[in-house]
Amino acid sequence: MAKVLIIGAGGVGNVVAHKCAMVPEVFEEITLASRTVSKCEAIAAEVKKRTGRDIATHQVDADNVPELVALINNVKPDLVINVALPYQDLPIMDACLETKVHYLDTANYEPKDEAKFEYSWQWAYQDKFKEAGITAILGCGFDPGVTGVYTSYAAKHHFDEIHYLDIVDCNAGDHGKAFATNFNPEINIREITQKGKYWEDGKWVEIDAMSIHKPIDYPNIGERESYLLYHEELESLVKNYPTIKRARFWMTFGQEYIKHLTVLQNVGMTSIEPIKFQGQDIVPLEFLKALLPEPSSLGENYVGETSIGCQIKGIKDGKEKTYYVWNNCKHQHAWDEVGGQGVAYTTGVPAMLGAKMFLEGKWDNGAGVFNVEQFNPDPFMEEIGKYGLPWEETENVEFPHEY
């Protein structure tokens, strides 16, 4: 029986709060904190309605370490689940260090003034977390998160050596809006407009944004044009599985989405360089974010499903083999169960389950900073279906998007 403090009351925070509340045998006390306490209260009211459970709410500025420390000392959680903005990973880790409380997040730290996705900043906390005797679990959403668990599960049970890894992420949903992002638009657009990057033969290969794309055939969905992006789990996976010769990440985008993004880039609306306007520094991308629909508002009319998985080639018992493991998730299922949408749901459920694994001692690597693939994948794979994200697998299929 444990206490958790969830920081962040967006679409993912909503899912994590609901899912924790649905597992009272582990999550005995739940506190939800965010800059805007009214968002926490709205989620708490929904959780109460759906589960009958009370969760506490707090206001906190997650950029402010002393405020975070005060909150943690007040709540005294066993674990902080950080589903705030990636900019806030480091202040929250600092507050965990100061209060000696365990930490879990779903996305790597990014500096606000630079679109740079890498683990370096958080991995640099390794020694401090060890000394403090606490654990940090990094990137425990779906991708990163479940994709790492899938890979470690494959490595453990299906391969002697993994050689090729393609993470394939399809959102075949339709929210009915001309343009909206499925998670924080600022983070989403930063991620997509940066250069693409993949791992090959021991080094990173950089490509122009969206310049490599192919149709990929997704289970129950069919072929969808998929774009090679850089995605953060590639960094930890090639480090933890050094036999990997090539690791890539693919994501689907519709033509309308790309059209909108291209135009917004052309006119400078996706820039993170502030401009002077009405005497203030204004970051165009932040202004754009203020205009776009809240990702958490997309759920009600969201139809269709997501499909995310790992397509792996390697060697088992001296022979080449392929393996594909994936989850499909219907947006409407997320709406019905927790009032959310599929992209938030697929991120929030693994965060809850990672927290559960840790609090139950099923994920125990001692003190330090870890990516999810470093933990035992078996108990996680055993339970994730029960909590809403069942997986399927096939062996020795062709991956026709090979090139």
Closest CB 257 distance from a second copy, rounded Å: 11
Q: Compute the CA torsion angle 339, 343, 346, 350 (nearest 10 deg).
A: -100
Task: Tell me whether residue 204 or residue 287 sits nearer to a second copy (CB atom).
Answer: 287
Residue 291 found at the interface with a second copy (CB under 8 A)? yes
The residues in 129-188 that bind a second copy, with binding defined as CB under 8 A, are: 178-179
Closest CB 211 distance from a second copy, rounded Å: 17
| Whole-Å CA distances, 81 to 72, 350, 357, 392 | 12, 11, 13, 28
Read off the tokens for 268: 């400078």
Residue 292 found at the interface with a second copy (CB under 8 A)? yes
Give the integer Cα–Cα distance in Å for 111 and 197: 19
- Which stretch in 63-71, 143-151, 247-255, 272-280 sits in contact with a second copy by CB under 8 A? 272-280
Give the one residue of 287, 390, 396, 397 binding a second copy; rule: CB under 8 A: 287
Q: What is the largest CA-CA distance in the chain?
A: 67
Residue 264 found at the interface with a second copy (CB under 8 A)? yes
- Which stretch in 261-269, 304-312, 335-343, 361-369 sits in contact with a second copy by CB under 8 A? 261-269
Angle at 91 between CA 4 and CA 357, to 5 degrees: 30
Give the integer Cα–Cα distance in Å for 242 and 235: 11
Residue 288 found at the interface with a second copy (CB under 8 A)? yes
The residues in 30-89 that bind a second copy, with binding defined as CB under 8 A, are: none
Residue 269 found at the interface with a second copy (CB under 8 A)? yes
Residue 275 found at the interface with a second copy (CB under 8 A)? yes
Closest CB 255 distance from a second copy, rounded Å: 12
Residue 278 found at the interface with a second copy (CB under 8 A)? yes
- Which stretch in 76-84, 115-123, 284-292, 365-373 sits in contact with a second copy by CB under 8 A? 284-292
Give the length of the chain. Answer: 403
Give the integer Cα–Cα distance in Å for 1 and 27: 6
Closest CB 260 distance from a second copy, rounded Å: 5
Which of 373, 379, 333 is closest to 140 using CA atoms? 373
Give the one residue of 133, 222, 268, 390 binding a second copy; rule: CB under 8 A: 268
- Which stretch in 209-217, 224-232, 236-244, 286-294 sits in contact with a second copy by CB under 8 A? 286-294
Task: Tell me whether residue 203 or residue 276 sits nearer to a second copy (CB atom).
Answer: 276
Q: Which pairing describes strands 319-330 and 305-316: parallel, antiparallel, or unpaired?
A: antiparallel
Q: What values do phi and psi take at 242, rounded to 5? A: -70, -10
Number of residues that bind a second copy (CB under 8 A): 21
Residue 112 found at the interface with a second copy (CB under 8 A)? no
Which of 16, 7, 329, 343 is closest to 181 using CA atoms? 343
Alpha helices in 100-232, H assignment, sequence order:
120-123, 126-132, 146-157, 185-193
Residue 260 found at the interface with a second copy (CB under 8 A)? yes
Give the one residue of 1, 45, 263, 303 binding a second copy; rule: CB under 8 A: 263
Which of 51, 63, 61 is closest to 17 using CA atoms? 51
- Which stretch in 158-166, 287-295, 372-380, 386-394 sits in contact with a second copy by CB under 8 A? 287-295
Give the integer Cα–Cα distance in Å for 105 and 369: 11
Read off the tokens for 236: 């930890």
Read off the tokens for 389: 């994200």
- Which stretch in 48-56, 262-270, 297-305, 377-385 sits in contact with a second copy by CB under 8 A? 262-270
Instruction: Write out the residues near a second copy by the rule CB under 8 A.
Output: 178-179, 259-260, 263-264, 266-269, 275, 277-278, 280, 282, 284, 287-288, 290-292
